[in-house]
Amino acid sequence: MNARIGIIRDEGIVKVEGPSKATVDKFAEDGDSEARPSLRPMRLCFEVPYKHPWNEELCELLLDDICAHNGISDEDDIDVLYTLFCQRFTILRTIANRHEPRHGEDETQVAKRVVQKKQATLKNQRKNSRRNTVSMYESR
């Protein structure tokens, strides 16, 4: 999915420009053939839920392509792929939203806020991961 979007790491989603809200809404209203989602490049719209017709169409296109290339026809496998798409959409939307400027922020302030949040998260993870290691040695 990352290759279709044109990113290497998930954080690259910040630099990818998605479709405009007007284009997405027009597609939802009348299925406009000029503004249809495509897999190359794959442009998710994070301003609407993944159940929106634009993102649903992208999901169907992606699932059809994956199934055709890998010979998948089992409904259970397709359901798993759909669940994976929804999870990836949620993760990428979270990353994109995290990098959105808040009231009165410029690019520098956004970058600083994101770095501080990430450092706080890593610090908390380190503390908790060490706790499990220490507990293991105490029980010996």
Q: State the Rg of the chain over Cα.
A: 20
At 124, the pLDDT band (50, 70, 90 cuts) reads confident
Q: What is the pLDDT of residues 24-61, one digit of tens each?
A: 988 888 876 677 898 888 999 999 998 999 999 999 99
Q: How far is CA 117 from CA 72, 99, 123, in A?
A: 40, 11, 10
* Gap between the Cα atoms of 102 and 98, Å rounded: 9
The larger pLDDT score, comparing residue 90 to residue 137, is at 90
* Gap between the Cα atoms of 140 and 137, Å rounded: 6
Tell me if the pTM is above 0.75. yes
